[in-house]
Amino acid sequence: MTIAAEQPETPSETTSLLAEHNELPVQPKSVTRRAQQVLFLACLIAVTVDIGNYISVAPQLQIFELNICQRLHPEVFDSNPGGVLPSVVPSACKTADVQGELALLKGWMSTFDQLPGIILALPYGLMADRVGRKPVLFLSLAGCVLQEMAIRVIAWYYATIPPRAIWFTPIFQILGGGSQIATSVAFTIIADVFPVEKRSSTYFILSAAILLSEILAVPLSAWLMSSNAWIPWMLGLACEFGSLFTILLLPETKPEPSVNPVNDVQPDMAGHLKLPSAFTWASVVHFTRSQFAQLHEFIGEYPSALVISLAFLFSSYGIEAVPFMLQYVSKRFSWSLAEGIINCFALMLVLPMATKILDRYLSPVQRDLRVAIGCACLLMAAFGFMSVASHPAVFVVGVALVALGGGFSAALRSVGSALVGSSHVGLLNTTITLTQGVGLMISGPLLAGLFRAGMAWEGAWMGLPWMAGFILYAATILTVYCLQAQS
pLDDT in tens, the chain (487 residues): 433 333 334 444 444 444 444 444 444 445 678 888 888 998 888 889 888 988 898 889 889 988 898 888 888 776 666 556 676 777 778 787 888 888 788 878 878 888 888 888 777 877 877 788 899 999 999 999 999 999 999 999 988 999 999 999 999 999 988 888 888 788 778 878 887 667 777 877 777 777 777 777 877 887 888 888 899 999 999 999 999 998 999 988 877 654 444 333 333 333 343 444 455 667 667 766 776 777 777 777 778 888 888 898 888 888 777 666 654 444 333 444 445 444 544 544 555 555 555 555 566 677 778 888 888 998 999 889 888 876 666 776 777 777 777 778 878 887 887 787 666 766 777 788 888 888 888 887 888 788 778 777 777 777 888 899 899 999 999 998 887 655 5
Q: Spell out the residues 6+ positions from residue 364 whose beta carbon is closer than 8 angstroms to its own.
A: 196, 197, 200, 414, 418
Counting Cα atoms < 13 Å in the Cβ hemisphere of 257 gives 6
- What b/e sequence results for 195-225 when a residue is b if at least 16 CB atoms lie within 10 Å of its CB, and e otherwise? bbebbbbbbbbbbbbbbbbbbbbbbbbbebb
* DSSP three-state, residue 27: coil
Round to whole Å and give the CA distance between 161 and 156. 9
Angle between helices 364-388 and 351-359 in degrees, nearest 10: 140
Round to whole Å and give the CA distance between 361 and 173. 46
Q: Spell out the residues 6+ positions from residue 408 whose beta carbon is closer than 8 angstroms to its own.
A: 315, 372, 375, 376, 379
Round to whole Å and give the CA distance between 449 and 125. 34
Residue pair 35/194 in contact by the 8 Å Cβ criterion: yes
The DSSP symbol for 256 reads P
Q: Which of 104, 68, 103, 105 is nearest to 85 (CA)?
A: 68
CATH-assigned architecture of domain 33-80+87-255+287-486: Up-down Bundle (1.20)
Query: How many other C-beta atoms are found inside a 10 Å radius of the C-beta of residue 285?
Result: 12
